[in-house]
Amino acid sequence: MTGTIDPTVINLVVFVLAVFVGYHVIWNVTPALHTPLMSVTNAISSVIIVGAILAAGPYETDFGVILGAVAVGLAAVNVFGGFLVTQRMLEMFKKKTPKAEKEKA
Amino acid sequence: MSANLLALWYLAASVLFILALKGLSSPVSARRGNLFGMVGMAIAVLVTLAITKNVAFILVAAAVGGTIGALVARRVQMTQMPELVAAMHSLVGMAAVLIAIAVVNNPSAFGIPDPMPRGNRLELFIGSFVGAVTFSGSVIAFGKLAGLGKKFRLFSSAPVAFGGQHVLNLVLAIVMVAFGVAFFLGEGRAWAPFAAMLAIAFALGVLIIIPIGGADMPVVISMLNSYSGWAAAGIGFSLNNTMLIIAGSLVGSSGAILSYIMCKAMNRSFISVIMGGFGAAEGTAAADGGDKTVRSGSAEDAAFLLANAESVVIVPGYGLAVARAQHAVKEMAQKLIAKGVSVRYAIHPVAGRMPGHMNVLLAEAEVPYDQVFEMEDINGELGTTDVVLVLGANDVVNPLAHEKGSAIYGMPIIEAQKARTVLVNKRSMAVGYAGLDNPLFYMEKTMMVFGDAKKVVEDMVKALE
């Protein structure tokens, strides 16, 4: 076997491993926090904003750049909205009497 | 910045995203996890800005979006979380589509050779159609959850079904794939097949979600969560960006697992949810003989029973959230605890409109989470519980789930019928989403308290004083 590995193959390797990591990490999430899980995954999938930034990057302003900027705006709604609303929810789960987590652990 | 250094920064961000999700294994570590997520996002955005031009322009766009996002995050009601999440899924889907169009327009801006190689085209096709389906599907889900069905039939929470629906969807999907193949094999920009493929994908998103009824929304919203992740991963493939692939796969598997958990909790197969039509026959109660009698009592009677119990388990359902009675319930629980009664809450996985929704609603009402138990953790103790108080829940406490042949046979339920006394608050004897009568209501140890949950609970609080 000779030659370099196609980037798509490397991507596939990363993809499969990441799905496995996701599978195991998510099953450990406590059901009580499934709503914050959803809002934080929303924020995380908005890392698609890096693609939007690249799209808005070129100097020659054409419609691709405009679309990129719109995508940056949309993804930014999610980045800020997702993380902040998650934080807001998690604040509500703050303990007032600090004993129960020891029982659970 | 060299490509290698960039990739390493992206790796750091990916690890932080994994840690963010890992933190959610307990309420204690969750806030730190969320912080990891934010740091990861900041790294990802900053290093990308460092390799691009037009930074000021991009920052303006981000500031506009970010401000909107921050305002919404601060103002949204916790009962509206499902709508918010659906809206956010649609934004991820739309962003994926816009990026895909920009890639077709100018691949070199993304470091992709121009004309685009076949491999990238295939990946771009997958990323953009999943993005488009996510967008339009989430818009419909948002409309259904936000109750826009009264104004637009498309958003009706009852399933929108018509003859040949599944055949139409199948045909559209095949045509869409055909255009995708044409784009894959096309020369140059190949705009025409790309645009046609996108248009069909948008239509498909609408068609897939409209036949799904309101009761199945927890599954739909989890499923769209999953799609939004796969869309991001697909874009990651076409841009050769491993961080996007990792983040997208994490989200994709998260949504898939949540869909599975929700299906299981509702005793529904994923396929039957997707095929839709469930919840259409609301109100067609099982009218099997009128000889069954229901014992009903006032809020004061219920309060008396509660105050004289040693242990009370409260089973909140979505009816409670609709009536905004969480705070009143918490007040009542406090009064009971002050009288020496042990009070706990039992949460069914589909108690709210989305996974974990009821937990958030109770947390908002400042119910300490050590009083809140998941169904499987508390079921074993219900036999020794004096009073189970069911508030605005129906199907999730229906003992028919244990009877072979019933429509909900096999569905996991909170076994309220095992308690010594059962108090049920409902607005009327109407059936739940599953359209089934509930034998629990006719048991001798059951007392029904009819009325709006908030009013009834407030009356109980008064009676406890």
State the pLDDT at residue B291. 56
> Is pLDDT at B436 greater than 80 in this prediction?
no
- DSSP state, B406? S
Question: B10-19, B87-96, B230-239, B391-400: lowest mean pLDDT where?
Answer: B391-400
DSSP state of B426: E
The backbone torsions φ and ψ at residue B444, rounded to the nearest 5 degrees and listed phi first, read: -65, -30
Per-residue pLDDT, A100: 46
Question: Which ipTM value was assigned to this complex?
Answer: 0.90
Chain B residues within 8 A of A10 when measuring between CB atoms:
242
DSSP state, residue A6: P
Stated pTM of the model: 0.89
Task: Give ∠ CA B376-B420-B293 in degrees, rounded to 5.
Answer: 110
User: Given a cut of 90, is residue B199 above it in pLDDT?
Assistant: yes
Q: Are B270 and B260 in contact (CB under 8 A)?
A: yes
Name which of A12, A102, A18, A67 is nearest B247 in CA terms: A18
Nearest Cα of chain A lies from the Cα of B166 at a distance, in angstroms, of 29
pLDDT cut 70: percent of chain B above it: 96
Nearest-angstrom CA–CA distance, B128 and B195: 10
Handedness of CA B21, B22, B25, B27 (dihedral sign): negative
**Which residues make Cβ contacts (< 8 Å) with residue B196, sequence separation at least 6?**
B179
- Cβ–Cβ contacts within 10 Å for residue B67, how many? 14
Three-state DSSP at B463 gives helix
Q: Render pLDDT for A60-103 as a digit per residue (tens, 0 to 9).
A: 778 899 999 999 999 999 999 999 999 999 999 886 654 444 44
| pLDDT computed for residue A99 by the predictor | 44
The arithmetic mean of pLDDT across residues A8-29, rounded, is 95
Q: What is the 3-state secondary structure (H, E, C) of B21-80?
A: HHHCCCHHHHHHHHHHHHHHHHHHHHHHHHCCCCHHHHHHHHHHHHHHHHHHHHHCCHHH
With bands split at pLDDT 50, 70 and 90, how would you rate the model's confidence at B142?
very high
Are B62 and A22 inside 8 Å of each other by CB? no
- Number of A:B CB contacts under 8 A? 378
pLDDT at B4 over 70: yes
Q: Do B20 and A44 touch (CB under 8 A)?
A: yes
Return the higher-pLDDT residue of A19 and B117: A19
Order across the sheet with B446-450: list the strands. B372-374, B342-347, B311-316, B387-391, B421-426, B446-450
Per residue in B325-353, pLDDT tens?
889 999 999 999 999 999 999 999 888 88
What lies within 8 Å, CB to CB, of B44 at 6+ separation is A47, A49, A50, B9, B10, B13, B243
The residue type found at B210 is: I
- The answer to whether B79 and B361 have CB atoms below 8 angstroms apart is yes
C-beta separation of B137 from B228 below 8 A = no
Q: What percent of chain B has pLDDT over 90?
A: 61
How far apart are the C-alpha atoms of B218 and B50, rounded to whole Å?
Answer: 40
Does the active-site annotation cover B386?
no
Query: Which residues in chain B are closer than 8 Å to A51, comparing Cβ atoms?
Result: 95-96, 99, 110, 235-236, 239, 241, 244
Selecting among B114, B291, B377, B395, the annotated active-site residue is B395
- Interface contact flag, A80 B65, Cβ < 8 Å: yes
CA-based nearest distance A10→chain B, Å = 9
Quick one: pLDDT at residue B277? 58
**pLDDT > 70: percent of chain A:** 89
**Higher-confidence residue: B59 or B405?**
B59
State whether B27 and A86 contact (CB < 8 Å). Answer: no
Q: Rounded to a whole number, what is the distance in Å from the CA of A5 to chain B's nearest CA?
A: 13
Phi/psi at B85 (nearest 5 deg)? -65, -40
